[in-house]
Amino acid sequence: MSRKKGYRRGYPVAILAGLEEDRAVLWKVFSNVVKPEKTIWLDGTWNDQKAVYNFLESVINALRPTLKEGVRSVILAAPPRTRYTQIFVDHVGAHHAWLTQGPRKATFSQAMGSATTTSEVAALARTPQFNRLIGETTEKESENLIDILEKHLNTTDQHASILYSLKEIEDLILSPHKPGTAKPECLMLTNKYVSDSREKHRINRLMQIAANKNVKTRIVDAESAAGQRLTQLGGMVCLARRG
């Protein structure tokens, strides 16, 4: 009996959060598909400040694992004539400066439409508005990545370093970290580097181990500004810091 050929989900692009009257449904948006992540229920109403605070904190906590993976684009969706997405953005601004400031900040966009079921997400994904938001949000993230990369390339900090080859990046990430030696912080690759490589097994293994070790890993569209800069550097870099 032959094995079914699995579909390619592609690389992670963004997080989609569908905010409704009684719940939030989180989705991970890949380049080829959207996958459900988690549902968080509101214990109360949107008029209950304490209930809303606890609810939004739970949503942010649910976002953390994907944000730690390096995905920094968040699209918030809610039905027309509601303020759910704006309330979320205001909450982030008031209580989570780490999400709005600094080189590793997230980019938030707001879309109109429900996103709690597969059919609703499919309908939303077909709209020009959603695709425009995906493009704008990931472009902002791309600018943030370029900023991080250029600062690392031009720093005079002797503790910071950057690696370019698969072999040296493997040696750094796969080996146990010793005090006083370089520690990987961020792995960036273009989607073209991954798709064109003859070492896909090594690259996939490297990315999986990097994720397990909490190294931020980001696959970037080769056509984006960040992707073009990465291509100039060979298609893959690893930012590291000694300490």
> Do you know the residue count of the chain?
243
Q: Which pair of structure tokens corresponds to residue 102?
A: 């600094």
Give the residue range(s) of CATH 3.30.420.60 domains in the chain: 12-143
Put simply, whether the predicted model's pTM sits higher than 0.85 gets the answer no
- The label of the residue with tokens 């695709």 reads 131
Tokens representing residue 194 in the block: 């991954």
pLDDT tens string, the chain, 243 residues long: the values are 334 443 466 677 889 999 999 999 999 988 778 999 999 999 999 999 999 999 999 999 999 988 887 788 899 999 999 999 999 999 999 999 889 887 668 889 999 999 999 999 999 988 888 888 877 777 777 777 788 888 888 888 888 899 999 999 999 999 888 888 889 988 989 989 988 999 888 998 998 888 888 888 888 888 888 889 999 999 999 999 886
Separation CA 181–CA 113 (nearest Å): 49
The CATH number corresponding to 155-242 among 3.30.1370.110, 3.90.870.30, 3.40.50.300, 3.30.1330.30 equals 3.30.1330.30
CA distances from 85 to 61, 74, 163, 167, 195 (A): 17, 11, 39, 44, 36
Residue 62: phi and psi, rounded to 5, are: -70, -25
Class assignment of domain 12-143?
alpha beta
What are the residue ranges of CATH 3.30.1330.30 in the chain? Answer: 155-242
